[in-house]
Amino acid sequence: MAHLTIPEFQQHKQQGKKLTVVTAYDALFTRIVEQAGLEVILVGDSLGMVVQGKTNTLSVTMEDMLYHTRLVAQTAQRSLVISDMPFLSYQVSVQEAVRNAGQFLQAGAAAVKLEGGLSVVDRVEAMTRFGIPVMGHVGMTPQSVNQSGGYRVQGKGQKEAEKILQEAKELEAAGAFALVLECVPSSLAHTITQALSIPTIGIGAGQGCDGQVLVLYDLLGLFDDFVPKFVKPYAHLKADALQALTRYKEEVECGKFPSDAESYN
């Protein structure tokens, strides 16, 4: 089965068809995501928080991201797999950024995503020049959490909104094939979406984007350490897991499990 290509992904915008993106970090959930009919998977560095249990994404390494990219990419049958470039893998130089981005393609991803505006325009330009598709990410950029002082909505004031719009335009001009808009006012996301010919994928950016992305464990209700306003839990798997484990413990302790049905004669 053929994978969704970047031109096909981009055509959604022209056709007015919304794009649904979700994160995944392993083979099991990649299979479930594809069974549900989703076709775009982001191997997000959010795995630092939801898989590794850290309070931010800054300690996620290239090795971590490549490992999870391989798990997802080896399993995906038709999805477009995009991998997040972790902190420090693209900041130091254009050369390092291109080399690291290329490693994601070697690991099976079809594209990379990196955070930032004007400071990464030369990276995006170099990567696309060498055939590495790049998704930009502006607005709230979690790898800059220490500078922004927390996970806050960005672009509320006019000056800041204009800056984000400008960054979006420059990333498109540099060759980005799509752009994540995170935690920006809906009106700004709408303006950016109208101004660009590449698709915008929103997270906490309202309805005006060309598509949406959510962290898988947030939408499944598995991760509740920190639930931002933009998250809608479509399931409550943590509650289900807690109930299942509690019952299992009770049944082992009272001798109800295993019963004959789970035993061999």
Chain residues binding ligand KIV by CB under 6 A are 23, 42, 44-46, 84, 180, 203, 213, 215
Q: Which of 233, 230, 188 is nearest to 209 (CA)?
A: 188
Buried b (16+ CB within 10 A) or exposed e, 111-136: bbbbbbbeebbebbbbbbeeebbbbb
Q: What is the DSSP letter of 16?
A: T
Dist. CA 139–CA 153, nearest whole Å: 8
Q: Which of 166, 153, 112, 116 is nearest to 137 (CA)?
A: 116
Instruction: For residue 32, give both structure tokens.
Output: 């479930």
Q: Is 182 a catalytic residue?
A: yes
Q: Residue 91 or 257: which CB sits closer to ligand KIV? A: 91
The least distance separating ligand KIV from the CB of residue 145, rounded to whole angstroms, comes to 12
Q: Which residues pair with 98 in a beta bridge?
A: none
The least distance separating ligand KIV from the CB of residue 60, rounded to whole angstroms, comes to 9
**Contact (CB, 8 A) for 170 and 121:** yes
The least distance separating ligand KIV from the CB of residue 201, rounded to whole angstroms, comes to 8
Q: Which of 182, 250, 251, 253 is catalytic?
A: 182
The least distance separating ligand KIV from the CB of residue 23, rounded to whole angstroms, comes to 4
Catalogue the active-site residues: 182
